[in-house]
Amino acid sequence: MAGTDADPHFNPELDLVLERTTDLPRELLWEAWTTPEHMVHWFTPDPWKTVECEIDLRPGGTFRSVMQSPEGERFDNAGCILEVVPNERLVWTDALLPGYRPAPNPFFTAVLTFEEIEGGTRYVARAIHGNAPNREKHLSMGFESGWGTVFNQLVAYLKNQRG
């Protein structure tokens, strides 16, 4: 997987990585990832929808979304923000709830990086799992296609917003 050689913490038995580039500036990607009003438009792969989103952009703050299936079933995903480096890095986990409270069923930690490159942004999304079965479950759920679709929706949404 691309982008793994530069990360000394990458563990191929536990981690999944998606790397993409876009001609959009990283500040726009950052804003879309950290603003609930933007996230509801692109965060869940079609035909699913994000019907609620809450972000308290600080370590210990809330990172929460409610996804809705095409049949109307809702899935509440609550987590805790661990790290915020504006326009560069966002880390959150579902292993903790807001305020660093332990969560009952941890699945993964997300590490997003936004690197300015000539003509745009290099975007890397890493999903860190606590065990191999969770990694395999995430992979079988369609990590690559799902997170790839979400990235494409994000880019399309931002380009549409720019006119």
In the predicted model, what is the mean pLDDT of residues 58-83?
A: 97
Report how many domains make up the chain.
Answer: 1
In a domain, 7, yes or no: no
In a domain, 6, yes or no: no
Instruction: Please give the C-alpha separations between residue 40 and each of 21, 61, 157, in angstroms, as whole numbers.
Output: 22, 19, 11
In a domain, 25, yes or no: yes
In a domain, 58, yes or no: yes
Q: What is the tens place of the pLDDT at every residue in 102-141?
A: 999 999 999 999 999 999 999 999 999 999 999 999 999 9
In a domain, 136, yes or no: yes
CATH of the domain at 29: 3.30.530.20
CA distance 62 to 99: 8
Q: Concatenate the DSSP letters of all residues of 4-30 into one string.
A: -TT-TT--TTTEEEEEEEESS-HHHHH
User: Could you tell me the residue range of the domain that residue 19 belongs to?
Assistant: 15-162
Q: How confident is the model at residue 152 (pLDDT cuts 50, 70, 90)?
A: very high
Q: Concatenate the DSSP letters of all residues of 119-155 into one string.
A: TEEEEEEEEEESSHHHHHHHHHTTHHHHHHHHHHHHH
